[in-house]
Amino acid sequence: MTEIQMTVNGKAVRGTVEGRTLLVNFLREDLRLTGTHVGCDTSQCGACTVHVNGVSVKACTMLAADADGADVRTIEGMAAADGTLSALQQAFQDHHGLQCGFCTPGMVMTAAALLKENPKPTEAEVRHYLEGNICRCTGYHNIVKAILAASGQDVSAIAAE
């Protein structure tokens, strides 16, 4: 067992984990932050995406012990303290970028990382960036549209209903 500590959504947390404990298990089970989901066991679906030290990471493919000392942000840390959705989250709602909601936390975390790197991405750049995030419900149309909208681009023409 290893003692670890990290900052999660701005709060210092500590815990005792096995070597094999994955970051996603630490978040979901120890910290009860169940917004981060698990959709596969081959590191491909992206439902578990969180930010570690400012970059997107699949929390199912990182050991909790390897995240010792890290600054972690999850979907629970994306809205303002008073619950107001971030512009990106709001765009997902406005443009119906989610249906069952299972892929959504990972989509939002990945999209947030994209917009940080590339504040005005093209449609192709958005689609390419979502390579590691699978959604089975939306057909991606409204996810791409929401991300483009969140980047401040006019989506009324490119993605007519």
Partner 1 sequence: MYAFDFEKPSTIAEAVAALKDEDAQALSGGQTLLPTLKQRLASPSKLVSLGGIAEMQGICHNDAGQICIGAATPHARVAAEVAGDYPALAALAGGIGDPAVRNRGTIGGSLANNDPSACYPSAALASGAVIVTNARQIAADEYFQGMFATALDEGEIITEVRFPVPQSAAYVKFEQPASRFALVGVFVARFADGVRVAVTGASENGVFRWAEAEAALSANFAADALDGLSLPADGMIADLHGSAAYRAHLVAVLTKRAVANAS
Partner 2 sequence: MPKDSGIGASSKRREDVRFLTGAGNYTDDINVHGQAYVHFLRSDVAHGRIVSIDTSDAAAMPGVVRIFTGDDFAGVGGLPCGWQVTDRFGQPMQEPAHPVLAQGKVRHVGDPIAAVVADSPEQARDAAEAIAVEIEELPAVVDMKAALSADAPKVHDDLTSNLCYDWGFVEENKDAVAAAFEKAAHVTTLELVNQRLVANPMEPRVAVGDYSRATDESTLYTTSQNPHVIRLLMGAFVLGIPEHKLRVVAPDVGGGFGTKIFHYAEEAFCTFAARQLARAVKWTSSRSEAFMSDAHGRDHVTKIELALDADNNFTALRTETYANMGAYLSTFAPSVPTWLHGTLMAGNYKTPLIYVNVKAVFTNTVPVDAYRGAGRPEATYQLERVIDKAARELGVDPIALRRQNFITQFPYATPVAVEYDTGDYHATMDKLEEIADLAGFEARLAESKARGKLRGLGVNCYIEACGIAPSNLVGQLGARAGLYESATVRVNATGSISVMTGSHSHGQGHETAFPQVVADMLGIDESMVEIVHGDTARTPMGMGTYGSRSLAVGGSAMVKATNKIIAKAKKIAAHLLEASEADIELKDGQFSVAGTDKSVAWGDVTLAAYVPHNYPLEDMEPGLEETAFYDPSNFTYPSGAYACEVEVDPDTGRVTVERFAAADDFGNIVNPMIVSGQVHGGLAQGIGQALLEGAAYDENGQLLTGSYMDYAMPRASDLPFYTVDHSCSTPCTHNPLGVKGCGEAGAIGSPPAVVNAVVDALRRQGHDITHIDMPLSPSRVWAAMQGE
CA pair distance 140, 146, nearest whole angstrom: 10
Task: Give which of partner 2, partner 1, ligand FES, none residue 73 binds (C-beta under 5 to 8 Å, depending on kind).
Answer: none
CA 113 to chain centre: 8
Q: Is 152 in the site for ligand FES (CB under 6 A)?
A: no
Question: To the nearest whole angstrom, how small is the minimum distance from the Cβ of residue 68 to partner 2?
Answer: 21
- x/- site string to partner 2, residues 107 to 146, per CB under 8 A? -x--------------xx-xxx-xx-xxxxxxxxxxxxx-
Evaluate whether 88 touches 143 at the Cβ level (below 8 Å). no
| CB contact burial 98-116 (16+ within 10 A = b; e otherwise) | beeebbbbbbbbbbbbbbe
Asked if 17 interacts with partner 2 (CB under 8 A), we say no
Query: CB of 23: closest distance to ligand FES in angstroms?
Result: 10
Q: Using an 8 Å Cβ cutoff, are 63 and 23 in contact?
A: yes
Nearer to ligand FES, 11 or 32 (CB): 32
If the CB atoms of residues 59 and 115 are measured against ligand FES, the closer one turns out to be 59
In angstroms, give the least distance from the CB of 12 to ligand FES. 25
What is d(CA 28, CA 36) in angstroms, rounded to the nearest whole number? Answer: 7
